[in-house]
A and B are shown apart, each in its own frame.
Chain A
């Protein structure tokens, strides 16, 4: 059974600081997704990482994937209050061909303080 672990689960940081959220998973997969959820809202896709070494960047967020280490990171640069949200990583369960079934981590609640 695929397990996806995120850490930390709670992250309080000051504006302007940098930090990294980690996502470890237990079985082979080369498809990983990052989502954002604002309080009371739905999940919004941020990044799709489809191969080893993939790196995607959008604004102050950068995601990377190391399939050999079964690890993805979401790096936050110079945090601003608008980044406060819960961030989920999700891993495609399938081996070889994809059935697009995802297993989600528990999420990281990020609070950026002024």
Chain B
């Protein structure tokens, strides 16, 4: 078990709605990453936070936002949901922010937009 936890495991919601996905990193890890895994786009990097600050941004839509709190847990907010947002959302954490530090992945949150 990598120690990264994500809630909820599954989420079913309707188009136009807003949801919040939560991630708790491994104990001691300062950096959190969010990835989206969909059938047509594959695994794509969304955003990274390091010790509460945004560090890097990838293919994240303007309808999506994220933050990392003082206790280092992170939340990914998805709003005005569309059918195409249905995907598996992974959170990963690493000790620091550099590439020499392995990213440990959580079990993911499966989002279904109907």
Q: Answer yes or no: do A and B interact.
A: no
* B residues lining the A interface (CB < 8 Å): none
